[in-house]
Amino acid sequence: MALERAYYEDINYHPYIFYVVFEVRHEKLEISTERHHVDELPEGIDIALFNRYENGEYMDSLLGGTLGYLLNESSPSLFSRVHASEKWAVIRGEVKNDSTLDYMRNVIGLVQAFVETGALGVLDLQTFTLLSSEEWTETIFKKEFNPYSHFTIITSEMDDGTVWVHTRGMRKFGRPDVSIVGVQKVDVNDAMQVAKQVLYYGCLGVFFSKATKLHTHVGKSFHIFPRYVDDRENDDFNNAYYEIAWADCTLVE
């Protein structure tokens, strides 16, 4: 059964996937259509196997720098183990057919199949999220597909006392992330709700190209004015993004 994208528009902006599964035993890999819900390797996705003897420099570089610092801060014990792991499976590439979310179902199943070979954990490079194998299986694989599990919303306090609400992960859906600037502390929850709605509809295929009215889960509605910034190489998002000035967001009674 297809995972529909009810509002899909082909804008030639394709999803990019990058998962790393640590300490795999590829000789034990068994992919089951029934168990893993995999019916194809999505066009554009590649599976590469790395080992520390031949690819140690690349492996160390991938987990170095800012990413390594963040992962070590959030999960020091797991990070230490995956950093020392010997064999990785990397599932990555630009998806060619994203008119449905079937590509996500297939990729999630492929990751799970590698997890079941005895892996330590999974890194989602688009969200900078490191999960143990148990966490991946319970929160991603076993549950019904939930867009909210595939992006992160971050709040950063700025020098002027306002809060920057920004996101990561939407490159997996071929849609922009969100940057909401100038948020007063009292409005952070509302701004996060607005971001969630923009991302949710992005997962379903929407591309916001004009002023839009959004209804949030907490019963409030806002007019927003997103400005599309086509910069997919910036470090903050690793993706294009919508810039939204909170001062321009209007609460609709």
The pTM of the full predicted model, rounded to 2 decimals, is 0.94
Give per-residue pLDDT as tens, 11-69: 889 999 999 999 999 999 999 999 999 999 999 999 999 999 999 999 999 999 999 99
Query: Could you tell me which residues come within 8 angstroms of residue 49 by beta carbon, excluding any fewer than 6 positions away?
Result: 24, 26, 87, 88, 89, 90
- How far is CA 210 from each of CA 15, 95, 244, rounded to the nearest angstrom? 22, 26, 12
219 or 190, higher pLDDT:
190
Give which of 16, 22, 4 is closest to 90, Cα–Cα: 22
Domains of the chain, by residue range, sit at 16-145, 148-252
Interhelix angle 65-74/76-83, nearest 10 degrees: 130
CB atoms within 10 A of CB 66: 9
Contact 242, 227 (CB under 8 A): yes
User: If pLDDT is split at 50, 70 and 90, which confidence band does 2 have?
Assistant: low
Phi/psi at 129 (5° precision): -110, 125
For 77-123, how does the pLDDT look when each residue is reduced to its tens digit (9 = 90+)? 999 999 999 999 999 999 999 999 999 999 999 999 999 999 999 99
Decide if pLDDT at 136 tops 90. yes
Rounded CA gap, 237 and 235, in Å? 6
